[in-house]
């Protein structure tokens, strides 16, 4: 792992924390900016977002998802369905 990659990963982690904090404080615009910036850093450095960050951010509107506030969470036949306030759905498997 190179120095640039390490710095990029650290910045993405910091932005994840800030996006979550902004979402908890009801500041969705600021939270969206943090998510967009983290995605841009990941793209430029050819990195994938951490799983937790990827699952808790909407691909359509870049909103940081907080269950019960900005996303509805349901379970169906072996997967969890996250439905954002914008209507976009994500499905993630769970199980065995």
| pLDDT tens by residue, 70-80 | 999 999 999 99
Res. 95: pLDDT tops 80: no
Tokens (6 digits) for 16: 């994840």
Which residue would you say has higher pLDDT here, 51 or 96? 51
Mean pLDDT, the chain, integer:
94
Residue 56 domain boundaries:
3-93
* Total of domains in the chain: 1
> What is the distance between the alpha carbons of residues 94 and 2, in angstroms, rounded to a whole number?
33
What are the distances in angstroms from CA 85 to CA 36, 71, 79?
Answer: 18, 6, 19
> What is the distance between the alpha carbons of residues 75 and 19, in angstroms, rounded to a whole number?
25
Q: Look at residues 72, 71, 86, 64 and name the one whose alpha carbon lies nearest to residue 18.
A: 64
What pTM was estimated for this model as a whole? 0.89
Tokens (6 digits) for 38: 């983290």
Position 57 scores a pLDDT of 95
């Amino acid at each position: 792992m190179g120095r640039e990659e390490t710095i990029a990963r650290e910045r993405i982690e910091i932005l994840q924390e800030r996006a979550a904090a902004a979402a908890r404080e009801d500041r969705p615009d600021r939270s969206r900016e943090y998510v967009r910036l983290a995605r841009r850093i990941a793209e430029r450095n050819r990195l994938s977002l951490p799983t937790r960050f990827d699952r808790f951010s909407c691909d359509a509107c870049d909103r940081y998802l907080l269950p019960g506030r900005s996303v509805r969470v349901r379970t169906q036949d072996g997967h969890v369905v996250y439905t954002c306030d914008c209507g976009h759905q994500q499905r993630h498997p769970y199980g065995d």
